[in-house]
Chains A and B, each alone.
Chain A
């Protein structure tokens, strides 16, 4: 039967404080459940669900690796190959029906237990799945175009724009100093095909002015 666990809390209440023995690179995972478990309820006192089959995929307990900063850091750089386009970390902590990201997580843990560095673990995944397993392409070869083209184009166009602006402003400055009127050009050229009354009137006026 379902044990709601509501009402008063059990007398034994273990407060699990975070403790970090590894400084995480990004700071995002400073919070980790302590491996010290103080006075936790015995398994025999924990009830079973009424219908476990409809409670989603059943899980194992969280180990130290689920929150390990190196593991998480690597998994955020690797794409889950189930087709979700999310990182392994995001997929396994979001899509709890996915079988792929937990398996990839296990692989990361195995490689870490073999004392491999984060880069070595990433290289191993690339060797197995190809470059597309990385969440961002490695910065070499053709991939550099991906990173550099937008910035180069913006810089080039920005430079051209700056040159154009400086030139235009210099021309305007010269005109002003020589007393030329800064008349804007006509909105549209005097039409060769005055197909409206308005345009015919404009053309007639321009002709009167000798233009």
Chain B
């Protein structure tokens, strides 16, 4: 079966090369047969990579340990769900996963894109085939998932225990889906530039792809935070690890892109920004996977250092140069259609919105590569950790939070003083009152206080928008409030779904600020002994060590330490943290023992208990106790964010009237005749 997979990869290499060439030639020379061939190439790639993926999956499920990849990442006693997840858990398997999903998205783009964008499709096909060609080439020449061992081991090495977690099943594919799907809007942007069809049409074609990509990235990042929190045991969810940063970078630029395309659709402005942002997002998605795979920056997430890094570096450099040339030569055709009329306008706020998002992306990028830069220039290694990133990025995030409240309410073209007063009087008052209350109660952290105050301001703006829209419908259409609300959202999904997404962001940022009040301590307790811990919310936990038990389960040997928890004298229950020693099917230890935290979560805080170890092999246990405020709201913020994204994406919310007009032929003539855009 793996021979079939190997052959499929070789064929995919040839087919992808063919598709890259015929797509461009067919588009340039308007040769229908070449265009058709390029289109069919996209479907053929999907078929070939499906066969290759099925081959690898079969090898995994059959425990074919003669295949090096299967032996490296699975074992006979690994639960089936993790055996399947091992498909994308290692270097070469994840490359195959990337290529397969990309071919799936490319085929979907060809199939689903309306006929009116046919002029772009040959180039879209060429770009997606070219990117697929790259990933297949890396597999064929540097990291073959079907490589065979000279012998067949009786069992595999198994999967890292930290990856044996439900989060492992979902987080990497979501993140990959986000990274990979950026290629589709990028391909359309390149098609627009190559074909010089630089009106707003390409934006309409990619709108849902962009939202999909952003939503997958958001889900992937949130799941990654959740996975780190429950699995790694350090009690946090974001460490500004280089690989974490690498996923955050394209999210930032995609968020900026999602916002500024609205300006292009509405007013024909920010065209250069938009083209640059989508190009940058694609480059950052490749950069992200380069960071993970090259070992150039050490990270707990990194794959083993290998020579695939050189392939990615070469791809980044060559495509970067090509894209820069393409952008440069098309600049004259990306001139803005309209001019800014006022500094107090939504258009102006979007300029600053873009600046802050790209600025934050730069600061994260800068901090990530600064160690390499320092070593290169000074010969001195430095570490750039959370203190740097927090110091630089928190002020930018707070400015973005403020803009999140200001931007949607400020008028297009020019905001009058009356408009400003009407829109912002109540939200500003809410923000100021919040700040005053926090100051009075002694909220000690400045940035946390700012986050809460600006969050209150932004929530007030969102609530105001929903209230005004609902009451307007109630009055106009005589609908009850519930129906008016539902129809308001249903008929303006883009706008109100966007507000829901903003609410998710506010929730995130306020929840993050809770970590400023984190409490931690270590204690060693004999059975029956207790310790106490005070929460930032004023109550006291009493933590009593019950004892330690040991037993076998599935593919591991467990040492479990149990704590009885009370809060202000009220018994809450027991919590158990574990040490797990994984074993293979011959009962031999695999990997170092891993630690599973016990987490008790409520709306205010999480009580997080980690069993650090036994004192001299006795039942006396060493624990690390942590109180993490507001963590539940981090996960809930993710749910709100994704829900908002789904609302925006839901079919039926099409392009605005203004943008549809802009995309029609003859629009330039209409403008030249003096007909103003609405």
Question: A residues near B, CB below 8 A?
Answer: 2-6, 9-10, 12-18, 27-33, 40-41, 43, 46-52, 54-62, 66-67, 72, 77, 79, 83-87, 90, 93-94, 96-97, 130-137, 142-143, 146-147, 149-151, 153-154, 157-158, 161-162, 165-166, 168-169, 171-172, 181-191, 196, 198-199, 201-202, 205-206, 209, 211
Contacts and interface: CB of A to CB of B under 8 A. Distances in A.
Given A6-B562, A188-B198, A150 B362 contact: yes
A83 B676 CA distance: 62
B463 interface: no
B614 A58 contact: yes
B409 interface: no
Given A171-B339, A186-B337, A187-B200, 15 more contacts: A2-B548, A13-B528, A13-B529, A16-B523, A18-B521, A28-B520, A43-B618, A58-B616, A59-B612, A93-B234, A96-B613, A133-B383, A142-B377, A161-B351, A185-B671
A56 B610 contact: no
B669 A209 contact: yes
Interface in B393-422: 396
Interface stretch (B31-39, B170-178, B465-473, B660-668): B660-668
A49 B558 CA distance: 12
Given A83-B298, A93-B612, A137-B388, A154 B352 contact: no
Contact of A27 (B333, B444, B592): B444
A154 to B, nearest CB: 4
B386 interface: yes
Contacts of B198: 187-188
16 contacts: A3-B619, A5-B548, A14-B530, A30-B534, A31-B521, A31-B625, A55-B559, A60-B616, A61-B524, A72-B520, A77-B387, A85-B298, A85-B385, A93-B522, A96-B593, A206-B672
Nearest to B386: A135
Contacts of A15: 530-532, 542
Interface stretch (B13-21, B121-129, B211-219, B366-374): B366-374
A202 B351 contact: no
B285 to A, nearest CB: 21
Contact of A9 (B352, B366, B544): B544
Contacts of A158: 352, 355
B346 interface: no
A132 B624 contact: no
Contacts of A96: 579, 593, 595, 612-613
B522 A66 contact: yes
B255 interface: no
Q: Which 7 A-B pairs have the closest CB atoms?
A: A5-B547, A52-B617, A186-B668, A150-B363, A184-B337, A10-B528, A135-B385
A47 B619 contact: yes
A93 B608 CA distance: 12
Nearest to A84: B300
B527 A16 contact: no
Given A58-B617, A131-B382, A146-B370, A40 B529 contact: yes
Nearest to B333: A188
Nearest to A41: B526
Contact of B339 (A18, A79, A147, A172): A172
Contacts of B200: 187
A46 B527 contact: yes
Given A41-B529, A132-B383, A182 B339 contact: yes
